[in-house]
Amino acid sequence: MANYTLIYPSRMKLSQVREILEAEVLCGNDLLHKDVRCCFACDLISEMLLYVTPDTLVITSLTNIHIVHTAHVMDAVGVVFVGGKKPDESVISNGTIHNIPLFTTKHPTFECCGRLFVNNLKDTKKFTDSINVCR
């Protein structure tokens, strides 16, 4: 099992993510105590599948229901919609059903990533290179 050791390089709560990104919580208010292990920003489902490991925070400008489905399948800890984008109610309901907290922030992707990075949140590694390991 040495190849698959879990590494926790940094710890951040979802509540801290909300503060740092000045985000509005769309659903999952009761899950803000959850740990975020790493972060991945993308607008492609296929990239999410490869890079999102358990407890990864996803930053995206896509607001369709497939983002939530993918986040659920990949065990993401939450999804942040950037640039003030808000998904439909049906997407938010889906987040509630699957226990995926959803946030929206006025800040664009680069700003979000920068804010989280300087607060010691790191990005993910490609799944096929090494499983469940954050950089």
Partner 1 sequence: MSADNLQFTPQIKLEFKINEKDFFVAGESASRVKKTLQQLGLHQEIIKKVAIIIYEAAMNVAIHGDHGMLRIYIDPVSILVETDDEGDGIPDIELAMQEGYSTASHEIREMGFGAGMGLYNIDQCSDELHIDSKVGIGTKLQAKVYLTKKEPNSDYSS
Restricting to residues 23-52, name those near partner 1 by CB under 8 A.
Answer: 43-47, 49-50
The type of residue at 131 is I
Our separate counts of H helices and E strands in the chain read 5, 7
What is the smallest separation between the CB atom of 1 and partner 1, expressed in angstroms? 5
Nearer to partner 1, 104 or 132 (CB): 132
Q: Measure the CA–CA gap between 84 and 86, rounded to whole angstroms.
A: 6
Q: Measure the CA–CA gap between 81 and 89, rounded to whole angstroms.
A: 14
User: Residue 50: which residues within 8 A CB-CB, separation 6 or more?
Assistant: 126, 127, 128
Q: How many residues bind partner 1 (CB under 8 A)?
A: 25
Our finding on whether 128 is near partner 1 (CB under 8 A) is yes
Our finding on whether 5 is near partner 1 (CB under 8 A) is no
Give the footprint of partner 1 on this chain (CB under 8 A): 1, 3-4, 43-47, 49-50, 54, 62, 64-67, 69-70, 72-74, 127-128, 131-132
